[in-house]
């Protein structure tokens, strides 16, 4: 066996965990996460700290492991419920990115769509005197409609005038940010917090300080809905004609058009669905985890959702698990910083590394495929 063939064979054997193409949608993201934590551990070691202790503190802060002590009315359960509360809008936002990606579109306007939906739901329902049984479902409905309209506008501009969706969504982000800021400052400002006035508890999608078993916990009412919507989106994309046509348009627009699929209509529909999901993210964020809107600020969650969608391989079920992981890192960073003496920005470094390694997934698949071909050729030549 030649030296080059030996190297090829060795590389192929070392990559055995990700060689099976059937399992690559799972094994490659898992490998990305492991590499990210390994690199983060090296950085923490260079800072003179114990990475194992730091990661343990990270999981403690997120409610995965118990803390040594808790404040009054708090426990591991309350921390975990806060994690789910923060995770809920991230699941919706990541699904919004994934649906657009399936149609070959890149929706980076999720933050703007979240803000627009949250603001519309706030002024229509959040400040009303409606009963909770009416207000909460109405908030969700308005969020979907508002986000869907904004997303549909992006799809229509793409179809009608061929304006790239990245440009459109960036511009709409700025428009939403500053127009809504104008209305908040002039009509809805809270003079103390300098944010929009707080919404009524009846309209809020998180039960705050709910007392049970001598604990005060935040219960995310939208979490079960987020899981159900993820399952529905999987069914829609994999088992329906609509999902097939959206994926066909995303794979090859010319071929889809040749087979009779209405490319423009499906692009608009995909962006309406994407925007509707972003709208659900907006109302579960601004009328759930929070109860007001900070003027001139776009939440970073809309941009984090891109990383989550990539890590989850744009698969709805994968997105649930990747949202859970990113939320753990985000929620546990403060406690890790206080206990391990590591700056909170290390959590952002870990998330950035996960995104970096996830973005290399296509390259890894290509290299594995090439090594597999070379290994087959080597065995054929030896036989």
DSSP string, 257-317: HHTT--HHHHHHHHHHHHHHHHHHHHHHIIIII-SS--TT---THHHHHHHHHHHTTT-HH
In 10 A of CB 194, how many CB atoms?
Answer: 12
Distance CA 218, CA 74 (A): 11
Helix 110-121 × helix 301-311 angle, to 10°: 130
Distance CA 88, CA 227 (A): 9
The model carries a pTM of 0.89
All domains of the chain, ordered by start, with CATH? 66-318 (1.10.3470)
Distance CA 49, CA 261 (A): 57
Q: 193 Cβ partners below 8 Å, 6+ apart?
A: 292
The predicted structure's pLDDT at residue 69: 86
Helix 223-239 × helix 241-251 angle, to 10°: 70
Where do we find the tokens 């891109």? 306
The predicted structure's pLDDT at residue 210: 87
Where do we find the tokens 């994309």? 237
Quote the strand ranges of 125-221, DSSP E.
206-212, 215-220
Collapsing DSSP to helix, strand or coil, 216 comes out as: strand
Helix H or strand E segment including 26:
helix 24-46
Let me know if 195 is exposed, middle or buried by CB neighbors in 10 A (0-12, 13-18, 19+).
middle
CB 81 within 8 A of CB 263: no
What the block records as the tokens of 287 is: 């009328």
Q: What are the respective helix, strand and coil percentages of the chain, to the nearest 5?
A: 75, 5, 20
What the block records as the tokens of 84 is: 């789910």
The predicted structure's pLDDT at residue 9: 54
The predicted structure's pLDDT at residue 167: 94
Distance CA 150, CA 172 (A): 9
In 10 A of CB 66, how many CB atoms?
Answer: 13
The predicted structure's pLDDT at residue 185: 94
The predicted structure's pLDDT at residue 265: 93
What the block records as the tokens of 341 is: 């003496």
Q: For the chain, which ranges sit under pLDDT 70?
A: 1-24, 361-363, 366-368, 371-383
Nearest 10 degrees: CA dihedral of 237, 230, 360, 350? 170
> In 3D, which of 299, 347, 348, 270 has the Cα closest to residue 89?
299
């Amino acid at each position: 066996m030649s030296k080059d063939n030996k190297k090829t064979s060795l590389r192929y054997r070392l990559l055995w965990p990700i060689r099976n193409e059937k399992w690559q949608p799972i094994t490659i993201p898992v490998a990305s996460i492991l590499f990210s934590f390994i690199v983060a551990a090296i950085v923490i070691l260079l800072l003179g700290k114990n990475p194992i202790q730091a990661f343990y503190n990270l999981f403690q802060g997120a409610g995965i492991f118990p803390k040594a002590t808790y404040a009054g009315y708090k426990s591991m359960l309350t921390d975990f419920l806060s994690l789910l509360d923060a995770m809920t809008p991230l699941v919706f936002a990541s699904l919004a990115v994934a649906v657009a990606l399936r149609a070959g579109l890149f929706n980076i306007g999720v933050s703007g769509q979240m803000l627009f939906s949250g603001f519309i739901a706030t002024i229509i329902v959040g400040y009303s005197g409606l009963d909770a049984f009416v207000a909460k479902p109405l908030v969700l409905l308005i969020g979907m409609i508002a986000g869907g309209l904004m997303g549909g506008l992006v799809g229509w501009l793409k179809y009608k005038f061929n304006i790239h969706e990245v440009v459109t969504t960036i511009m709409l982000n700025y428009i939403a940010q500053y127009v809504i800021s104008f209305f908040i400052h002039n009509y809805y400002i809270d003079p103390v917090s300098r944010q929009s006035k707080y919404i009524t508890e009846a309209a809020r999608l998180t039960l705050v300080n709910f007392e049970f078993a001598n604990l005060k916990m935040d219960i995310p009412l939208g979490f079960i809905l987020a899981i159900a919507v993820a399952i529905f989106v999987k069914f829609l994309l994999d088992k329906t004609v609509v999902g097939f046509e959206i994926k066909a348009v995303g794979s090859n627009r010319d071929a889809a058009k040749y087979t009779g699929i209405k490319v423009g209509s499906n692009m608009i529909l995909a962006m309406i669905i994407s925007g509707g999901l972003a709208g659900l993210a907006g109302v579960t964020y601004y009328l759930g985890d929070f109860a007001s809107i900070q003027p001139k600020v776009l939440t970073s969650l809309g941009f984090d959702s891109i990383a989550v969608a990539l890590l989850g391989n744009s698969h709805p079920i994968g997105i649930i698990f990747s949202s859970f992981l990113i939320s753990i890192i985000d929620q546990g960073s403060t406690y890790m910083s206080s206990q391990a003496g590591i700056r909170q920005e290390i959590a952002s470094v870990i998330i950035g590394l996960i995104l970096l390694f996830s973005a290399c997934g296509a390259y890894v698949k290509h290299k594995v495929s090439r090594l597999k071909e070379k290994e087959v050729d080597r065995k054929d030549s030896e036989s």
